[in-house]
């Protein structure tokens, strides 16, 4: 899938530039590669069109911008929660876990670390 993402981005430079603005400072290439795929799979209408810039009437853009901004912030938050879960072993409420895992369906991460939870460690002692 990584090859498909790279090919898609090479064919859609506006999308590539847009998604790069969502990368966090200090984010490793490995984390970014997978989180970028998560973002692209779930961005829908939040990502710019691949072609020339579209011109929205000023008032429509203002009305949309608040909603789009909230949706984008939510998508970024979900992508970070998913990456934290996969790479750092973080856990969230069941509702959030269900949401991020369903959003990440089909993303193959082959080099993720394996984490042991406190409950698993306690169960081994018992």
Cβ(103)–Cβ(78) under 8 Å?
Answer: yes
pTM: 0.75
Q: What is the pLDDT of residues 69-120, one digit of tens each?
A: 899 999 999 999 999 999 999 999 999 999 999 999 999 998 777 777 777 7
pLDDT of residue 50: 56
**DSSP SS3 for 121:** helix
Decide which of 46 and 84 is more confident: 84
d(CA 63, CA 71): 13
Give the integer Cα–Cα distance in Å for 36 and 22: 8
What is the predicted pLDDT for the residue at 59? 45
- pLDDT of 2 reads 65
């Amino acid at each position: 899938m990584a090859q498909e993402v790279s090919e898609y981005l090479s064919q859609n430079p506006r999308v590539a530039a847009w998604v790069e603005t969502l990368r966090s400072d200090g984010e490793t290439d490995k984390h970014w590669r997978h989180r970028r795929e998560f973002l692209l799979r779930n961005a829908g209408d939040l990502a710019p069109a691949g072609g020339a810039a579209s011109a929205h009437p000023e008032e429509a853009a203002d009305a949309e911008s608040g909603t789009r901004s909230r949706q984008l912030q939510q998508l970024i938050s979900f992508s970070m929660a998913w990456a934290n879960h996969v790479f750092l072993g973080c856990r969230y409420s069941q509702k959030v876990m269900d949401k991020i895992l369903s959003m990440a369906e089909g993303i193959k991460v082959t080099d993720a670390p394996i984490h042991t939870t406190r409950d698993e460690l306690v169960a081994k002692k018992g």
